[in-house]
């Protein structure tokens, strides 16, 4: 890592994205980020429920599925930021069953 005289870090013109991802994941694991996130609102009296059914029960996943799931994920994260307790279990139907295999 090199810095200029202004203290701003130089940007690598050829970043090693897999190495950056490994470094980020190692930091997440070392700091227990996932567990902290999942349990940050455990003591909250406000709850938020979200049932997101299986998307690929009978068809292969398409771009439109990923787009919709991204929005659903963002909405759940927003509710977490508001301090609401949630159970994270996307991809199950209302009976708690995983995607069926045809």
Inside any domain, residue 5: no
Which residues are paired to 73 by β-bridges?
Answer: none
pLDDT digits (tens, 9 = 90+) for 47-74: 998 877 666 666 677 788 788 888 888 9
8 Å CB contact between 88 and 76 = yes
Inside any domain, residue 102: no
Inside any domain, residue 66: yes
Inside any domain, residue 3: no
Inside any domain, residue 87: no
Which residues are paired to 47 by β-bridges?
Answer: 85
Residue with tokens 């890592």: 1
Beta strands per DSSP E along the chain: none
Domain count, the chain: 1
Work out the end-to-end distance of the chain between its first and last CA atoms, rounded to an integer number of angstroms: 52
Whole-prediction pTM value? 0.63
pLDDT digits (tens, 9 = 90+) for 1-24: 555 667 788 888 999 999 999 999
């Amino acid at each position: 890592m090199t810095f200029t005289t202004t203290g701003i870090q130089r940007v690598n013109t050829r970043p090693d994205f897999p190495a950056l991802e490994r470094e980020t994941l190692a930091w997440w694991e070392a700091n227990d980020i996932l567990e902290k996130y999942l349990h940050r609102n455990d003591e909250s009296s406000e709850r938020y429920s979200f049932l997101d059914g299986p998307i690929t029960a009978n068809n292969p996943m398409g771009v439109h599925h990923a787009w919709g799931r991204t929005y659903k994920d963002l909405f759940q994260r927003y509710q977490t930021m508001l301090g609401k307790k949630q159970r994270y279990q996307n991809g199950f139907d209302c009976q708690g069953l995983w995607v069926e295999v045809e």
